[in-house]
Amino acid sequence: MNTKTTIEWTETTWNPITGCTKISPGCKNCYAERMAKRLQAMGQFRYRNGFQLTLQPQTLNEPFKWKKSRTIFVNSMSDLFHELVPLSFIDKVFHVMNNCQHHQFQILTKRSTNLRQLASLLNWTENIWIGVSVESQDYVYRIDDLRTIPATIRFLSIEPFISPIKQLDLTGIDWVIVGGESGPHARPMHKNWVRQIREFCIEQNVPFFFKQWGGVRRKKSGRLLDDQEWNEMPLRIHSTKFFDLINT
Ligand code: SF4
């Protein structure tokens, strides 16, 4: 299975779980749901259950086979901290990450309460980054949960950015990604909302990564903000791709 991805802030996806359920307004036009249903229609075995949460234990060993260092987005097609994922399985995913120190793993969740409650039972080796999605001011509380996690890199994904965020405390946060929604029903993101987040990052000295404007024609709308790309990354990174990005 091709694991390379066009997601700008990572290199590879690894999906030991597929499928999910919607939890907040950011999920409304979930890309993973659209993709899972498409892959089910194409007859792909892994997606035989469509978007229903499905453990994929046969994929657990994949990162061991990737000999060269990669930056890996864990569960682009699900949420590792979904309430239906047993702790024993999360533990298996962590075991792989703990024993693949040549890779960097990026976990992103909307279930920050579950994350906070389970965090002390997991082994947060230095190669594990943890992030929460924050689509609007109503969900900044997820950042308080994130701050409690003993990971090397804690990050925010403000995507899909669907309404303005007027207050943002970035204490203990190492990286902020912003992106607009893509796809046929994409909700608009206003330029000044993005500029405001960039200002928060500059004031609080946190790297800012602008992923995309999104919209119906994602490629056409591009990823320039005020005539430039914003590709800042957290300081403690090792991937060649990211050194390239910083140096462009
Ligand atoms: S949490 Fe993520 S994967 Fe799950 S439904 Fe929401 S957007 Fe989709």
Q: Which two tokens stand for residue 234?
A: 């957290």
Ligand 1, atom nearest to 26 Cα: 7
Residue 30 Cβ inside 6 Å of ligand 1? The answer reads yes
Quote the ligand 1 centre to 76 CA distance (angstroms). 9
pLDDT computed for residue 245 by the predictor: 43
The burial of 43, by beta-carbon neighbours within 10 Å (0-12 exposed, 13-18 middle, 19 or more buried), is given as: exposed
- Convert the pLDDT of each residue in 131-144 to its tens digit: 999 999 999 999 99
181 CB within 6 A, ligand 1: no
**What does the alpha-carbon distance between residue 86 and residue 216 come to, in Å, rounded to a whole number?**
37
Residue 63 pLDDT more than 70?
A: yes
Alpha-carbon distance of 82 to 145, in angstroms, equals 15
* Ligand 1 midpoint to CA 82 (Å): 9
Q: How far is the CA of 160 from the centre of ligand 1 (A)?
A: 11
Give the separation between CA 212 and CA 234, rounded to whole angstroms.
19
Which of 28, 37, 73, 79 most suits a substitution to test ligand 1, by most atoms within 8 Å of the C-beta? 79
CB 206 within 8 A of CB 176: yes
Helices and strands (DSSP H and E) totals, the chain: 8, 9
Residue in the structure block whose two tokens are 């999104």: 214
Q: Is the pTM for the entire model greater than 0.95?
A: no
CA distance 78 to 75: 5
| The token pair that represents 228 in the structure block | 């430039």
Residues 6+ apart with CB under 8 A from 182: 31, 212, 214, 215, 216, 218
Residue of the CA atom closest to atom 8 of ligand 1: 30
Q: Determine which residue's CA is closest to atom 7 belonging to ligand 1.
A: 27
- Asked if pLDDT for residue 243 goes beyond 50, the answer is no
Kindly state if the Cβ of 79 falls inside 6 Å of ligand 1.
yes
- pLDDT value, residue 1: 60
23 close to ligand 1 (CB < 6 Angstrom) = yes
Give nearest CA residue, ligand 1 atom 3.
78
* Atom 6 (ligand 1) nearest CA: 27
236 — pLDDT class (breaks 50, 70, 90): low
Q: Between 219 and 146, where is the model more confident?
A: 146
Residues near 49 by beta carbon (within 8 Å), at least 6 away in sequence: 18, 19, 40
Under DSSP, is residue 245 helix (H, G, I), strand (E, B) or coil? helix
Where helices occur in the chain by DSSP H, the ranges are 31-41, 62-65, 87-98, 112-118, 141-147, 191-204, 218-221, 240-247
